[in-house]
Amino acid sequence: MANSKFKPGSEPKSHSRNVLELFAGLNPSIPQLPPIRSLAITTNSDSQTLVFVGTVSGDVISLALNPNSGLSLHLRVNIIGKPVTSIHVITHIRKLILLSDGFIYLLDLNSLEPIQKLSLLKNVNVVSKRFFSRRNEEIKGKEDGCFFAASVGKKLVLVELVLSGSPVILKEVQGDFADGIMCVSWVDESVIFGTRSAYYLYSYASGQCGMIFSLPDPSVLPRMKLLAKECKVMLMVDNVGVIVDSEGQPVGGSLVFREAPETMGEIGAYVVVIRSGKLELYHKKSGNYVQRVQFVGEVGNPCVVADEEDGRGKLVAVAAGSKVMCYRKVPSEEQIKELLRKKNFREAIILVEELQSEGEMTRETLSFVHAQVGFLLLFDLNFEEAVDHFLLSETMDPSEVFPFIMRDPNRWSLLVPRNRYWGLHPPPSLLEKVVDDGLTGIQRAIFLKKAGVVTAVDDEFLQNPPSRADLLESAIKNMTRFLEASRHKDLTPSVREGVDTLLMYLYRALNRVDDMEKLASSENSCIVEELESLLSESGHLRTLAFLYASKGMSSKSLSIWRVLARNYSSSYLNDSHGANHLQDTTKDVSFDQETAVMEASKILEASSDQELVLQHLGWIADINHLIAVQVLVSEKRTDPLPPDEVIAAIDPRKVEILLRYLQWLIEDQNSGDTRFHTTYALLLSKSALDANEKEHTTQNFEGVNQKEMNVSDCGNNSIFETHVRERLQIFLQSSDLYDPYEVLDLVEGSELWLEKAILYRKLGQETLVLQILALKLEDCEAAEQYCAEIGRPDAYMQLLEMYLEPMNGKEPMFKAAVRLLHIHGEMLDPLQVLERLSQDMPLQLASETILRMLRARHHHHRQGQIVHNLSHALDIDARLARFEERSRHVLINDESVCDSCHARLGTKLFAMYPDDTIVCYKCFRRQGESTSVSGCDFKKETLYKPGWLVTR
């Protein structure tokens, strides 16, 4: 093992509290005892606690501990009249091991008799029983004897005491221990002992012995204390305690005491040290000084301390001269309360966490204390820290803060747990009262401080007293933070309603409008009745509208959006800088009119309430046509709106909305109602007429393309992406369900010639269609295409006549006529063409075209003759081939066989297939006449022979 010098640490911190309290003293009726040299404590299986006392006169006294009457005499014996320097209780064999005058004695635990002297061991200086850690509890349970280590002269002896009471020496450890062994502890397989110069460790398993560390020179005598709870050993170096494990390795930090102790004990998580009539308590892990107990000792007599070596950590006994006092650990709950009363909140939480890690307290208790600390901080006006502790409490119910926000009684009063805490803080009251009471306490503390009286009020508050407004704002902000975090917990419906409703109250107090609207518009458990008047009176109409909508109260929500939208609209027109009395003062009106329409549309798009939708359609349409249309055509609603009633409800002046709705019915819903088709056609026609008139009246420059004239030029927020006339033409061509007569009556006197052409075509008025296409629109290609659709030659002749003799004094359209003759001349009779040609037509313009037409006609005639003659020749050739096939002769002799069964034909009937294969009649019947022996199917496969083809 490494040899290292120990360096003492710094002075421990002080965290004073009462961990120990006097439990029982020596009963006054007992005669005064001789000075006490040793102590031991044990608790029997019947829960009787005994304190064993060894005196300088050799007495061994058993004292029974009674909480009511104190320590009473139980048994008393005398060994040899020599001081009893140590007592060890061996519970599992019901024995006491005593050390007196260098010898070891055995006594019965209950009767203190008989006394047995272990003569094998002499000049014993110190004795220590073997202690087993928890990992060796099973081995300990199987042991029948007792093991202990003894310092005999300058050597270490390990002894086993069997049930007969006879000692058996297991090991004798020799070494350079000239100073003598002065203290020893046997833990599991390791024996740790100390001399004046160093601490050593002997391994019982390996037989090796080594130094742990040497002691500084000069130094006080070595002392050690077995810490049974952790199965560790504390080695003293002057006033510093070094804690090592069973392997001799330092663990954790060192304990630094105020001065070198006379003796040491252990109780729970603390080390007890005694010096000069003072009992001091230090925490083993943190090293913090915790408590001091003063007691009166007798001059010249050392103090002795004993604890429960089984690690129970409940009692410790102290002897000073002839006085014996028992101290017990104050219940953890009382320790925590004391810290909280002293406002040592951090120390209280640390204590609870330590107790939890040691298994003495549950996680629920830690949550309980966090909540208690939070309430104490709340009344101390430390709102942020208070809420931090509330959030650390897993068991605190959010309803516990409701009384701080809403005055009792309220609908949640019965939900608030009563008397859950230790009564260390006042009963809950409104935050305003908490702040006022706290400020009053601060003023009182300032007055007392000036008078020299120490108060528990925070010095920071005394030096810089906060304002009421700042404190109240901090309280509300932090209470809001707690409720926001509580929303994510698994709460009962009633508590969740309280959390969301009161959270809205707090948002309103802080004027956090965005948070109010976010909460109201999301899924929430707010109670509307509790918030209606609050939000309405404070002008938070938007929040109220969101809240109504989230609760399914669509009508109320829409009414608010309607009021807001109209108010914003009027404010634009009348007073863009002023405020209206109905205006929601929480938002910018330049933005909220559109927002009001959008929010209302969200409700209406999902609503199947016909009356509600149509009731609010008007004001939405006044602001935004597109949104109004979206409301009508929404696919979110489960039941569609009745089209007739929707159409009746739409303002006739809002043509675009009606058009888009009819378009949706026809194109998206595939409506076949002739009324809708006719109405849609009429409205499109009217829009096209208006657009056409607008174009002519506002056209200020030449070259404006009519197709660039959009409906949006006639009004804002157009619902169409394409030109209205284009949509009209497409619809007139594609639909067969509208009444063309009604539409024609509307556009009859207009300039919508193409539309009229489409309508006349629907009515079968071919002449009128050709007149419009050829003469009005002068669209030769369209006119010719229409003639092709008619499919009769006279249609082309009629078109030619229109070109040559247009009506209404229009000049003949010779170029169009020439084009017609050039492209479709073969469809015209030349004689009729010549008859109809105008004398005014320039000869050079028509001669080449007419000549080409005549040549083409002659060419077509000759070509037809050729085709006719070729067809006739093919027919003759085919007849000849058939005749030749039928005239074929076959010669059969005695050697001829059937191509299928290979039987000799002889005089049998036979058949011959077109592919020249020959079979007997039997095979022919089986094979059939359409399929030959070669597998050729004459019905599916064509057979060609060279003689069948026309070779001319």
Q: In which element (H, E) is residue 104 found? A: strand 103-108
Of 410 and 220, more confident = 410
Of 680 and 692, more confident = 680
Task: Note whether residue 708 is domain-resident.
Answer: no
pLDDT higher than threshold 80 for residue 377: yes
Q: Identify the pLDDT of residue 848.
A: 60
Same-domain status, 821 and 832? yes
pLDDT higher than threshold 70 for residue 585: no
Q: Which domain holds residue 382?
A: 333-463
Query: Region 858-876: what's the mean pLDDT?
Result: 79
Confidence of residue 943 (pLDDT cuts 50, 70, 90): low
Query: Region 713-730: what's the mean pLDDT?
Result: 65
Q: Identify the pLDDT of residue 444.
A: 84
Same-domain status, 391 and 423? yes
Same-domain status, 382 and 303? no
Give the tokens for residue 305: 């301390």
Contact status, residue 574 vs residue 593, Cβ threshold 8 Å: no
Give dist(CA 83, CA 103) in Å, integer.
11
Q: Identify the pLDDT of residue 689.
A: 92
Confidence of residue 52 (pLDDT cuts 50, 70, 90): very high
Q: Compute CA distances 783 → 49, 749, 941, whole Å.
A: 124, 22, 49
Same-domain status, 337 and 432? yes
Confidence of residue 224 (pLDDT cuts 50, 70, 90): very high
The pLDDT tens digits for 784-821 are: 899 889 888 888 888 888 887 787 778 888 788 778 77
What SS3 state is found at 410?
A: coil
How many independent structural domains does the chain possess?
6
State yes or no: cis peptide before 793, omega within 30 of 0: no
Confidence of residue 3 (pLDDT cuts 50, 70, 90): very low
Same-domain status, 648 and 790? no
Q: Identify the pLDDT of residue 138.
A: 55
Backbone angles phi, psi at 54, to 5 degrees: -110, 130
Task: Note whether residue 62 is domain-resident.
Answer: yes
pLDDT higher than threshold 80 for residue 449: no
Query: Region 187-209: what's the mean pLDDT?
Result: 92
Give dist(CA 546, CA 548) in Å, integer.
6
Contact status, residue 881 vs residue 948, Cβ threshold 8 Å: yes
Task: Note whether residue 798 is domain-resident.
Answer: yes
DSSP assignment string, 843-863: HHHHHHHHHHHHHHHHHHHHH
pLDDT higher than threshold 90 for residue 935: no
Last residue of a domain, one of 305, 330, 355: 330
Among 394, 373, 268, which Cα is nearest to 329's?
268
Q: Identify the pLDDT of residue 589.
A: 37
Q: Identify the pLDDT of residue 834.
A: 61
Same-domain status, 219 and 293? yes
Confidence of residue 583 (pLDDT cuts 50, 70, 90): very low
Percent of the chain scoring above 90 in pLDDT: 47
pLDDT higher than threshold 90 for residue 739: yes
Q: Identify the pLDDT of residue 744.
A: 95
Least confident of 14-18, 534-538, 896-900: 14-18
* Beta-strand pair 323-329/910-912: unpaired
The pLDDT tens digits for 387-400 are: 999 999 999 999 99
Q: In which element (H, E) is residue 746 found? A: helix 740-747
Q: Identify the pLDDT of residue 845.
A: 57
pLDDT higher than threshold 60 for residue 948: no
Q: Identify the pLDDT of residue 909.
A: 85
Roughly what angle, to the nearest 10 degrees, separates helices 814-824 and 780-790? 40
pLDDT higher than threshold 60 for residue 952: no
pLDDT higher than threshold 70 for residue 824: yes
Task: Note whether residue 797 is domain-resident.
Answer: yes
Query: Region 439-448: what's the mean pLDDT?
Result: 82
* Beta-strand pair 183-187/124-131: parallel
Last residue of a domain, one of 293, 314, 330: 330
Same-domain status, 91 and 222? yes
* CA 492 from centroid of its chain's CA atoms: 20
Q: Identify the pLDDT of residue 813.
A: 82
Q: Which residues share a beta bridge with 169?
A: 159
Confidence of residue 712 (pLDDT cuts 50, 70, 90): very low
Least confident of 238-252, 427-441, 461-475, 822-836: 822-836
Confidence of residue 311 (pLDDT cuts 50, 70, 90): low
| DSSP collapsed to 3 states, 380-392 | CCCHHHHHHHHHH
Query: Region 856-872: what's the mean pLDDT?
Result: 76
Task: Note whether residue 928 is domain-resident.
Answer: yes
Task: Note whether residue 665 is domain-resident.
Answer: no
Task: Note whether residue 500 is domain-resident.
Answer: no
pLDDT higher than threshold 90 for residue 906: no
pLDDT higher than threshold 60 for residue 181: yes
pTM: 0.70
Residue 281 DSSP label? E
pLDDT higher than threshold 90 for residue 707: no
Q: Identify the pLDDT of residue 927.
A: 85
What residues have CB less than 8 Å from 352, skipping those under 6 apart? 332, 336, 361, 365, 366, 369
Task: Note whether residue 868 is domain-resident.
Answer: no
Give dist(CA 451, CA 441) in Å, integer.
15
Same-domain status, 79 and 214? yes
Q: Identify the pLDDT of residue 736.
A: 93
Contact status, residue 279 vs residue 18, Cβ threshold 8 Å: no
Last residue of a domain, one of 437, 463, 489: 463
pLDDT higher than threshold 70 for residue 698: no
Confidence of residue 745 (pLDDT cuts 50, 70, 90): very high
pLDDT higher than threshold 50 for residue 708: no
Confidence of residue 176 (pLDDT cuts 50, 70, 90): confident
Give the tokens for residue 775: 């003469």
Of 762 and 879, more confident = 762
Same-domain status, 192 and 75? yes
Q: 815 exposed, middle or buried (CB, 10 Å; 0-12, 13-18, 19+)?
A: exposed
Contact status, residue 146 vs residue 93, Cβ threshold 8 Å: yes
- The pLDDT mean for the chain works out to 84
Same-domain status, 809 and 929? no
Q: In 83-239, where does DSSP find H-type helix? A: 137-142
Same-domain status, 169 and 233? yes
Least confident of 271-285, 307-321, 638-652, 857-871: 857-871
pLDDT higher than threshold 80 for residue 56: yes
Same-domain status, 852 and 935? no
Percent of the chain scoring above 70 in pLDDT: 84
Q: In 393-550, where does DSSP find H-type helix? A: 402-405, 431-450, 459-463, 468-486, 493-510, 513-521, 528-537, 541-550
